[in-house]
Structure 1
């Protein structure tokens, strides 16, 4: 797939324009979007991704399947990002009206970092096909960590890099609107707003280490890798407000992502064997990958919601007898007092 420089330039210009428009809207009226507003924007971004994929099918041969598969992989892994973002924003007690700004800056940083990682990954892939062994092994290790970890932690702990930033930059204890710098008793200090933005940016670097090798297991075309990442990230801010509460019910999300990463890891190892040896190993077609990923995500979501519903009913059932016992005990005490 030969992408002309003007296509790359136009794509990046459109993305920068969307980010600038988003930032202008947030700056003009800082607020927490309603469910309806978030749903509309998520629908817009999903529709744009679908239209982009349809356009690829019209102008390329078979590239649309690669794009949609990569986009779904990145979108599903973005759910994991959202869970950590929720922990970060809660840990830093970010005012609700300013959370959109933090998320947008985080998304802009994510696009920058992933663009750099994609360029480095593409260069490595073109130079040495054996790098797929490394990518595959890393994804299999990540899948094992997700399964053995049993899900996400309930608290966010600052990493060593963020603690080092705190030691270098004096930080105030309170927010000053959306400002990044403030004065406390005449001393210039950074606000927690800057620190939370740094935390979100650092977190996405770690997530990119998983997601970039994963999508290279779907396609090695840098343009498709970049656009799939871009479309997955652009609606992430609105998705946070739309399904933030629902994420707690997706109890099997980590296991579903582990299955997907493990599958892609095996796919990468098979591809590496095919490229670097004379062994006749089978390669997994992208269409098969798409079916496996969609079925895994669907099963994960359904099973998670069913378990959450069962747990809710079990909690209600456990509260019922206790309430009845408390009520019954009260009546017995009353009868005993009356008889006395």
Structure 2
């Protein structure tokens, strides 16, 4: 896929324009969106992604479109998992409900910046060193194992060293106020609000999730343009999705297992691809492993869709049964 400079430029301008409109809306009127408003925005962003994929299909073919849709779906799923941690952070720091949309938006902007940097670094590494796929694949399999074991669960969120330092070293107010990072007291002293601490927590969380998501998307496509756009579309509308899903997030009890299967599948796919194109002298004498299969994109899409669908349905069935059982066991 050969993407010209003007296509890159036009895409960046269009995406920045959409994001700027969103920023202006939330910046002018921080509020808790209604279900209708949140649903409209989510449908709008999902529709944009689908239309963009169709455009890729028309201009670059079905293979590229399949890679975009598969990457977008994978990144969207990982982003939903990111929401779980955002929920824990906002609950931990008691962020007022009307300010949560602002927190989510800034968190998404930070995620875009960090993922953009990781995408650039990852693309440069892959173009120079094909053996990077061994590292990416092993890392994704390891991440999948930690998800299954529960070591990467949002409920285990702990304040990192940067958060602890900020709380200890910075003069903090007890109130969020109007959501600014600092306020001036009546005596003229400037204090930082808890919003700054929340942003540090969100930013460091974004960094950790970027470490997972970028190897995953490179396991689907090596085209930086598709990697970048899939990530951007996966993050757009995420804050509205938070309010739309509401309590449903807590019902997706098997999402981590589903994501673990997806990440393990992509990790194995990366390792197989590294074996198929092996040129490391200390592995098999630098010769490729011709028996290693190349997994087609249509199969990847089917596996990812099927896994996420099963995890979602199983989660809803389990929580529904648990709720019914609890009601039956409650004394009348």
Q: TM-score, structure 2 length as denominator? A: 0.93
Q: Is the 8 A contact 2:85 2:155 kept in 1?
A: no
Residue 245 of structure 2 corresponds to residue 243 of structure 1? yes
- Of 209, 232, 239, which aligns to 2:211? 209
Task: Give the paired residue count.
Answer: 321
Structure 2 residue aligned with 1:304, among 281, 290, 315?
315
Residues 9-158 of structure 1 aligned to structure 2 (within 5 Å) = 9-61=9-61, 62-149=63-150, 152-154=153-155, 156-158=157-159
Q: Deviations over 1:60-117 (max 9, x none)?
A: 0220000000000000111110100111111111121121111111111111110000
Distance 1:294 1:142 in 2: 20
Q: How many angstroms does 1:170 deviate by?
A: 2.1
Tell me how large the CA RMSD over aligned residues is: 1.4
Q: What is the deviation of 1:151?
A: 7.3
The residue aligned with 1:279 is: 289
Match of 1:294 in 2: 305
CA contact (8 A) 1:87 1:155 kept: no
Partners of 2:251 and 2:316 within 8 A in 1: yes
In structure 2, what is the Cα distance between the partners aligned to 1:63 and 1:179? Answer: 43
User: What is the aligned counterpart of 2:191 among 171, 189, 192?
Assistant: 189
The correspondence for 1:264, drawn from 260, 263, 266, is 266
The answer as to whether partners of 2:88 and 2:154 remain within 8 angstroms in 1 is no
CA contact (8 A) 1:151 1:251 kept: no
Give the 3 Å change call, closer, same or farther, for CA 86–3 of structure 1 in structure 2: same
| 1:161, distance to aligned residue in structure 2 (A) | 1.8
5+ residue gaps, structure 1, are: 324-340
* TM-aligned CA deviation for residue 167 of structure 1: 3.3
Determine helix, strand or coil for the equivalent of 1:154: helix
**Poorly superposed stretches of 4+, deviation over 6 Å:** none
> What is the CA-CA distance between 1:311 and the residue it aligns to?
0.3
Q: TM-score, normalised by structure 1?
A: 0.91
| 1:115-136 superposed Cα distances (whole Å, 9 cap, x missing partner) | 0000000001011000000000
